[in-house]
Amino acid sequence: MTNEHNPDWSRRTLAAQAMGHIDEASRAVVLPIHVATTFIRDPDNAYSTGNIYGRPDNLTVREAEGIIAALEGAAEAMVLGSGMSAATAVFLALRPGDHVIAPEVMYWGLRHWLLHEATEWGLRIDLVDTSDVAAVKAALRPGETKLVWLETPSNPMWSITDIAAVAAVAHAAGARVAVDSTCATPVLTRPLELGADVVMHSATKYLNGHSDVIAGALATRNKDAFWARIRRNRGILGQILAPLEAYMLIRGMRTLHLRVKAACDNAMELALRLSNHQAISHVLYPGLPEHPGHDVAKRQMQGGFGGMLSIRLRGGEAAAIACAAKVKLWKRATSLGGVESLIEHRGSIEGAGSPCPLDLLRLSAGIEDTEDLYRDLAAALAE
């Protein structure tokens, strides 16, 4: 492999050209997939190539990690087998008894794990409204709080947390800050530049963008002892992403900027139109001026407000479920961030104990024609 990229290239260019790497043997512009699990030792019993075994490391995985690190402005990145694998890897690098602050409203799978599984590990968890910096500051326990976990925009209510402000109060109390930036993507927000220590992505979503890879990613501001513990655990526990999935993730990231822009444009237009629809009581989208987090989002999200929005229906839960059942272009499916637009009644998925209102539909705007998307949704709302 040769590296033929210019250090002055933008992040968009680096992603589009997969860092500009060229295969040395074939001179191909697309690198081969390295699937070997074991490697030949040198005559002196060393590994001069740095390749030892496939569980802790892989050449194709390293390529994906290099792109993510460049996109986030990180010292190093790491890809894992799923978004949940990436998120839980951060918490499992803590010690039993450590105190953690996390959002009241966040991805339900991680929220459930924190409340029901992480406590078995010995972590002490407090859920707070992280969009309220004063609430975060009040919940901090200097010397005890080791991690503040943020998710912004938060799923599925799309509240916004001021990363820089929370990072300042967390660091003053001796806590690290990790940010789930899945829905913002590095195209719109780079948490490390705002003071976060670690950024996490469910790479299944926008980074891959084609609904055909399950993957997670972490990126760090510093290669410190905490990061080394996460990396060591990944190797021991076998959490690494498989080479084929890493290759497909690289392929997806080549079009990341184009896809995110198209999704943002669609979401913004849909949010504006749906705000005036008689069947809808609320449109939750940080791009709308009336959104309580709009000013913060405008400051820390560059070039758009994301492709995710939620709508709350005046007719309640029954109306929301009926609307989702009637769409034809929108796909009734979980997940988000793909090229196709998805609609989901989140309350049915999250179940008892979820803070998600039962009248809410979560919309992941894809890259289709905006008019087609609106007409399909408006027809379902009208029936």
Percent of the residues in the chain that have a pLDDT greater than 70, as a whole number:
98
What are the sequence ranges of the domains in the chain? 33-253, 257-382
Question: Among the listed ranges 15-24, 292-301, 313-322, which one has the minimum average pLDDT value?
Answer: 15-24
Would you state the pLDDT for residue 31?
87
CA distances from 23 to 15, 29, 233, 251, 376 (A): 17, 7, 31, 15, 45
The CATH number of the domain covering residues in 33-253: 3.40.640.10
Give catalytic status of residue 146 as yes or no.
no
The pTM of the full predicted model, rounded to 2 decimals, is 0.95
Considering 55, 137, 254, 273, which one is annotated as catalytic? Answer: 55
pLDDT at 23 over 90: no
Is pLDDT of 6 > 70?
no
% of the chain at pLDDT higher than 90: 89
| Residue pLDDT, tens place only, 347-373 | 998 988 889 999 999 999 999 999 999
Among candidate residues 111, 162, 176, 180, the one labeled active-site is 180
Asked whether the predicted pLDDT for residue 49 surpasses 90, the reply is no
Residue 107's contacts (CB-CB under 8 Å, 6 or more residues apart) are 83, 87, 151, 155, 180, 182, 202
Average pLDDT over the chain, rounded to an integer:
95
Task: Report the C-alpha gap between 9 and 6 in whole angstroms.
Answer: 6
More confident residue, 339 or 4: 339
Give the pLDDT score at 1. Answer: 58
Distant-in-sequence, close-in-space partners of 212: CB < 8 Å, separation ≥ 6 = 248
Catalytic-role residue among 111, 146, 190, 205: 205
Q: Which two tokens stand for residue 19?
A: 């860092």
Q: Is the dihedral of CA 182, 183, 185, 189 positive or negative?
A: negative
**Which of 107, 206, 247, 285 does the annotation list as catalytic?**
107
Instruction: Please list the residues that pair with 363 across neighbouring strands.
Output: 309, 343
- Annotated active-site residue 107? The verdict is yes
314 catalytic residue (yes or no):
no
Q: Which CATH architecture has domain 257-382?
A: Alpha-Beta Complex (3.90)
